[in-house]
Amino acid sequence: MTTIERKMSGLLIDLDGTIYHGSKRIEHADKLIADLRTGGLAYKYVTNNSSATPEDVADRLKAMGIEAYADDVCTSAQAAASYIAEKLPGASVFVIGEKGLREAVVCAGLTITEDNPDYVLQGIDREFNYSRLAKAVRYILDGASYVMTNPDLLLPTENGLQPGAGSIGASLTAAGGKQPVVIGKPSAILMNYSLNRLGRTAADTWVIGDNMATDIAAGHASGCGTILVLTGLTRSDNYEYYAEIAGCKPDVICTRLDELRSYISTYRGI
């Protein structure tokens, strides 16, 4: 593995494909997190998932035998609500999304409305229908700002791939004629939000993930160091394909999480 002369005082860690596959923990994930806690290396989990609350994510990790707390988690829903609150405190928001997104909006001091919103905020919504589409498009055409939690077109589920937030967003963009502000990976907005929560700068933080086009591209966009783990979407046999899509390459590649544990342990001595 390549050694990069760069500080490592914090980590931003992807979840699906990096720590778990669905409801199954990836081998050595529990030992990796235990190492980080014992060693005092600051980290946050960073996820494009806007449907789950941080508490939901922490409970999921705990069920897999991984120590986790809500404060360890940064979601695209939280980052999106924070983004809007910074632009227009107390803004009214028409929400297309689920529990995690709605709770994030309220926690950010924003107001959920069904009429004449300042913003249309859209994430994954498995109850999405034509009526909601028509409302959102009308508001966008009338001048509401459009923010999308994440651009994922497909979601891996227990029953295979299903449409994600990006697929819903495609219909709003086509009909509303306005490109959304995208919050989640590969956008740097979620990463910068997470860095702020972590209390670290990009110069001494590394992003760990399995997806070249989201995790590694987001790390690159935000100026962080990047470590690709071949535990999920990106594998040795499709690496070049995804590297071309991402338009960048990781600083380090680890095949397994035990290899990553060893790398982090050694690297921190630099």
Give catalytic residue positions. 14, 16
As a whole number of angstroms, the distance between CA 7 and CA 244 comes to 27
- What angle in degrees, to the nearest 10, is found between the helix axes of 99-107 and 76-87? 30
Residues in the chain: 270
Residues in a beta bridge with 10? 42, 205
The residue whose two tokens read 């306005």 is: 178
Q: Residue 132's closest CA among 163, 175, 89, 92?
A: 175
- Report CA 269 to chain centroid distance, whole Å: 29
As a whole number of angstroms, the distance between CA 239 and CA 190 comes to 24
Q: CB–CB of 3/270 below 8 Å? A: yes
89: preceding bond cis by omega (within 30 degrees): no
**Would you state the torsion angle of the CA atoms of residues 236, 1, 44, 210, taken in this order, to the nearest 10 degrees?**
0
- Report CA 182 to chain centroid distance, whole Å: 11
Outline where DSSP puts E strands in the chain.
Answer: 10-13, 20-21, 24-25, 42-47, 73-75, 92-96, 111-112, 119-122, 145-148, 154-157, 160-163, 181-182, 205-209, 225-229, 252-254
As a whole number of angstroms, the distance between CA 100 and CA 208 comes to 23
